[in-house]
Structures are given as C-alpha cells and as structure tokens.
Amino acid sequence: MANSARRGPALAIATAFVLAACGAIGGSGPSATLCPPAALESVTVDTRTVPPVTYAILIDRAYTGDAKRSPSYPWPQLPRTALETVAAALPKLDLRSGDAVLGAWISHNSNQTSEIFLPITQVARAPMPDLPTAPTAPKLPLNKLECNEYAASVRTFNEAATVWRAKVTELQQGAIEQDQRNVASFVAATSAAIRAAAPAQDPVGTDIYGGLAVASGVFTANPGTHKLVVFSDMTDTIGNPVRPDLAQSEVLVALYHRDDASDQGKGQKDWEATFKALGARVPVFLPWAATTADKLAEQLKGSAR
C-alpha cells in the first residue's frame, strides 16, 4: 500500500510534466493550437494565361487622290505610308506568344482573299515545360506528442520544396526566354513582309465594309482581344450591303484625312455611329499628321489586352 501510494503522486507529477511541456509547445486556452504554426513553402504553380491579341490591318489601295478625295496626298502615299508605319510600330507593341497579325487591302472587292497581303501569322508559343512533381506536404499531427516529429517533417518538406521551386523557376524561365526569341523572330519576319507588300492602285472604288467583313471573319476564328486598324479616308463608294459583327473590337482609324474639313468631321461622326452599330468599341481617329509609329503603338498598347 505504501508503494502504491508513492506511485500515485509520482505518476501524477510525470503526467503533469508531459502535459505542461506540450502545453508550452501548443499554448493553452480555447485558441490554443495543437502544435506551433508551421510555415510550409508554397508548391503551387501560376497557371494564369493572358488572352492573345489578334491585329487586323486594313490599308486602302483604292485611295485615288482625285479632287473629290484628297489631292494633298496623291497615290501611292497613303498605302506606302501605312505599310511603313505598321512595320515600324510592330517592334514597339507588347507582342506575346499566341498574338497574331493579318494585313489586307481595301479595294473595290475587299472581301476577296486575293486582297490579303499578309496572311494571318501567329507568334509561336514555346512548349509547356514538363515540371517535376511537387513534394507532398507532411500530415498534420494527431496529438501534441507528435509535434517534434511534425516539425522535423516540415523542415524536410521545405528543403525539398526549395529545391523543387528552383527547378520549376529554371524551366519556366527557359520557356519565357524562348517566347521572347519567338516574338523577336516574328517581328523581324512580319515587318519585312509588310515592307515588301506592293500596293496596286484600284481605280474602280472603295469597299470598306468588305474589308471589315474580312477582319470580322479573322476575329471570329481567333478568340481573345481584337484590334482593328484601318488606314483610309473612310470614303466608301461601293455600298456593299454586308454588315459584319465587330463585337467588342477595338478600332483605330489612322491617316484619316479629307481635304474638306466639314466632310472630314461628318465622316468621323458617321463612322463612329457605324462602328457602334457593328458592336465595336468607340473608335479612335488619328489624323494624317498625328499618325506615327510611336502614336500607333501607344494607342494599341494603351487599350485593354
């Protein structure tokens, strides 16, 4: 009985010591945690993607420069200036993998495929890197007696996660650098193709709606952000009945000029209403003197991606 009496207090003291030790580790009270908070390294991968941008460039080659239109800018000043401006602006754009560019003439039969001088070309996308499998986070402890083991598992996990993150970053950086090379190659090849385009004057007439239909078809086939650039005085003489869908497309009318100032102002208002009816956003009109490569790039980069 005496031994039993002695074991009772001894066991109680030992139990109290263990509980006190675990209590010191995990805290006490209603807000106490099982073990001290463990900071686990993140092993998530950012998979956000940026919607690609499709640029449709329409250039008026039926711009006759007769007395009714703009004798100030005789043929072939408009199409040649447009081509050079686009080629110079291309390197200034925020092009990314997946973005695409199309170039087509505005003529009396603009919706013919023969009017496409730059078939739609896309910036190549680097292959997705094959990432290593992320380490598995340690299981949470079942009781306070497992806190030390859990803390050791956390250290092991974090060391593995750090090594894993370094490898993932290396692979992702490699893909980014490949995308950058793809953009540079695309810009060089596309700029050269644009400068090499040879506009032939079309004396028959100007079918602007047909050109818009070409852009609409390209936009429909290429999801993402759509940006339309039209180089023209916006004088339609054909009257094509087609009314293409330009839903949420961004529109920039460049080298816009008519010698009659009142006609130029009326033309801009009429086309603002037309683009709205076709579903496009409010267009931006750049007068001839304001149409530079820098201004063109600024307008295209400043709009939403």
**Superfamily name and number for 53-124+197-302:** von Willebrand factor, type A domain (3.40.50.410)
For the chain, domain boundaries: 53-124+197-302
The model's pLDDT over 58-68, given as tens digits with 9 standing for 90+, comes to 999 986 644 45
Mean pLDDT of 17-26: 38
pTM, full prediction: 0.82
**Which of these ranges, 15-29, 69-83, 234-248, 283-297, has the smallest mean pLDDT?**
15-29
One-letter-per-residue 3-state SS of the chain: CHHHHHHHHHHHHHHHHHHHHHHHHHCCCCCCCCCCCCCCCCCCCCCCCCCCEEEEEEEECCCCCCCCCCCCCCCCHHHHHHHHHHHHHHHHCCCCCCCEEEEEEECCCCCCHHHEEEEEEECCCCCCCCCCCCCCCCCCCCCHHHHHHHHHHHHHHHHHHHHHHHHHHHHHHHHHHHHHHHHHHHHHHHHHHHHHCCCCCCCCCCCHHHHHHHHHHHHHHCCCEEEEEEECCCCCCCCCCCCCCCCCCEEEEEEECCCCHHHHHHHHHHHHHHHHHCCCCCCEEEEHHHCCHHHHHHHHHHCCC
Geometric angle at alpha carbon 47, from 42 and 52, rounded to 5°: 155
Spatial neighbors of 177 by CB under 8 A, at least 6 apart, are none
Name the least confident of 4-18, 139-153, 286-300.
Answer: 4-18
Tens of pLDDT, residues 102-124: 999 999 999 999 999 999 999 99
C-alpha to C-alpha distance for 122 and 262, rounded to whole angstroms? 40
d(CA 298, CA 100): 18
Q: What is the pLDDT of residues 201-237, one digit of tens each?
A: 998 999 999 999 999 999 999 999 999 999 999 999 9
Degrees to nearest 5, angle at CA 217 with 285 and 110? 65
Provide the β-strand partners of residue 104. 58, 116
CA dist 255 to 39, 40, 300, Å?
A: 59, 58, 15
pLDDT at 16: 37
Beta bridge partners of 250: 227
For residue 125, name the pLDDT band (cuts at 50, 70, 90): very high
